[in-house]
Amino acid sequence: MTKEDKAWANAVKTRDGWKCVICAETNRPNAHHIIARENHSAKYDIHNGISLCPKHHFFCRQLSAHNNPMGFLIWLERNRPDQFSYIKVIMREILNAKD
Ligand SMILES: [Zn+2]
């Protein structure tokens, strides 16, 4: 993890109060990239980050960013509509640039 990666993760977790935004678990929140970090234009955008506990990051079948991305995105749209709208704009720009 680079210095820039750490700074991004710290900024995301500080914004979210160092807890999972879904269940409020405070034990070891992860900073998750909503648009995958391989898309360099969004890699260090704090609005592309969200704090999740390991369960909601990786493991939960119904609601985790990696194990059920569609469930996670529906949660995001319902609970953080401004962030969801922003992510849609950025993702469309990324897709358009690859046409
Ligand atoms: Zn959680």
**How many domains does the chain divide into?**
1
List, as ranges, residues with CB under 5 A of the ion ligand 1. Answer: 20, 22-23, 25, 53, 56
Residues with Cβ within 8 Å of 51's Cβ and at least 6 positions away in sequence, in order, are: 12, 13, 15, 16, 17, 18, 19, 20, 21, 29, 30, 31, 32
What is the average pLDDT across 9-13?
Answer: 98
CB 54 within 8 A of CB 66: no
Q: How far is the CA of 56 from the centre of ligand 1 (A)?
A: 5
What tens digit of pLDDT does each residue of 71-86 get? 999 999 999 999 999 9
Range of the domain at 40: 3-97
Can you give the pTM of this predicted structure? 0.93
Question: Does residue 98 surpass a pLDDT of 90?
Answer: no
Question: Does residue 51 surpass a pLDDT of 70?
Answer: yes
